[in-house]
Structure 1
Amino acid sequence: MSTVVDDFDRQYRTLLATSSLDSERIDTLIEDLIHQGFSYQRDFFSPTLIDALLADLERLEACDALASAGIGRLNEHQLATSIRGDAIRWLNRESPAQQVYLERLDELRSQINRSLFIGLFEFEAHFARYPPGAFYKRHVDSFQGRANRVISTVTYLNRDWPADGGGEMVLFESQQQGPNGFDPDASIREMTRVLPEAGTLACFLSDTVPHEVLPTRLPRASIAGWFRRNASVNGVVDPAR
């Protein structure tokens, strides 16, 4: 048992020492969020951490530990393959890579809070594996009246992604939700496309920035995450998922 613990600690310390975040790039990310509602930066995370996360995902996939993703939360959750086709596994710090990644995102959460005073409470995230042909239709990550998810993040794990590999995330101009919520058929302008290249981090406002994942030609790996407010009721913390 001590050998396993020692190996975990050694890997954790190695990843922690090689994955520090660049403060200037964090400042740029925050400025982008203020002025345009989204930001994406290539090579935001170190190759060492990215490779360790991808290895972790591949281990989980080999153990059949991924589950088909659905839409909606809690009692409204349902599978909908016509809308999204990925398989997921929530991060839970079970590996050194997951632990270091979640600690780095908590650092980012603290920096955003210090700059924007928006009271981000926690971060939740899951691996996402898209098989060839899979996609995720246009949507927003937080619905009117349920704005506990404030800022969405996507971290990509795909080495040597070709320009024709598909699987880009398309970000659309900010759209305020109407009385009936988000309208997926509204005519809105495309702002940018993000290639799912290893090390790239994309962030955007969860309730106002519609986005979609285009059909991928190759197996596509990422980590989807959300910075959340504490939407507690009567002292009970709103569950993360």
Structure 2
Amino acid sequence: MTALPNQLPSESLLDQIADALAGPGFIIIDQPLPVSLINGLIDNLLAQQAEFKPAGVGRQGDYQRNQDIRGDAIQWLEPGDLAVTEFLRWMDKLRLGINQRLFLGLFDYECHYAVYAPGAFYQKHRDAFRGSPGRKLSTVLYLNPEWDLVAGGELVLYDEAGEEQLVRLAPECGKLVLFLSEDFPHEVLPATQSRQSIAGWFRIKPA
């Protein structure tokens, strides 16, 4: 694979993201990453699919697999592959830019590929509970070329009470979603075709 273009998030994009997080608390950005980087991530995902494992729910001692709650298969991202390394560098630039503007204290980023087979879903949940250390800002980057809008598979963001739908987003390739992890219950609806993404979380240190 040839070298990827060095295209980190611009200052204007960082301003836009910070303003949205300080306001409604979420933002949807259309194609913020270079197409060549998206394509490299798709190639890397496809090359590893035989190694994916069924995802679980809960953390550490509470961890369990339950396909009645979530049905995706995952593979955590680590530096090494060129596209993955560039993506993680892009996200670290984003982390630094958000910290400079909002003083959130984001100190690292973890992420995994997520592949949902046709019919698989993830029930409504939160990525973090208010006041707990750990995940502060959630991200989803979609990797679905030529997604058919009638196929389903939308991400639904709810208000903090979990009652009103705020966003219903089709998983179109290249779209990036960011939202405050504590504030937005969300779910992944089933689709009639396989769908894939990178789910990630910027974390804060325990007090």
TM superposition score category, shorter chain reference: over 0.9
In the alignment, does 2:175 pair up with 1:200? yes
Task: State the TM-score, normalized to the length of structure 2.
Answer: 0.95
**8 Å contact from structure 2 (residues 117, 194) kept in 1:** yes
Instruction: For residue 164 of structure 1, give the secondary structure of its aligned residue in structure 2.
Output: helix
Bigger radius of gyration among the two: 1
Greater strand share, structure number: 2
Name the counterpart of 1:37: 25
Task: State the TM-score, normalized to the length of structure 1.
Answer: 0.82
Superposition pairs for residues 1-241 of structure 1, below 5 Å?
11=2, 14-17=3-6, 19-61=7-49, 64-175=50-161, 188-231=163-206
Say how many residue pairs are matched: 207
Percent of residue pairs identical: 40
**8 Å contact from structure 2 (residues 156, 187) kept in 1:** yes
Tell me, which stretches of 5 or more residues in structure 1 are unaligned? 1-6, 176-185, 233-241
Q: Partner letter of residue 172 of structure 2?
A: E
Instruction: For residue 149 of structure 2, give the secondary structure of its aligned residue in structure 1.
Output: coil
Q: Which runs of 4+ in 1 moved over 6 A?
A: none
Going from structure 1 to structure 2, the CA distance change for 1:213 and 1:137 (only over 3 Å counts) comes to same
Q: Partner letter of residue 39 of structure 1?
A: I
RMSD over aligned CA atoms reads 1.4
**8 Å contact from structure 2 (residues 133, 205) kept in 1:** no
Worse-matched range after superposition: 26-35 or 102-111: 26-35
Worse-matched range after superposition: 102-111 or 188-197: 188-197
- Tell me how far apart the structure 1 counterparts of residues 138 and 150 of structure 2 sit (CA, whole Å): 26
Q: Partner letter of residue 4 of structure 2?
A: L
Report the CA distance between 1:22 and its aligned residue: 3.2
Name the counterpart of 1:235: none
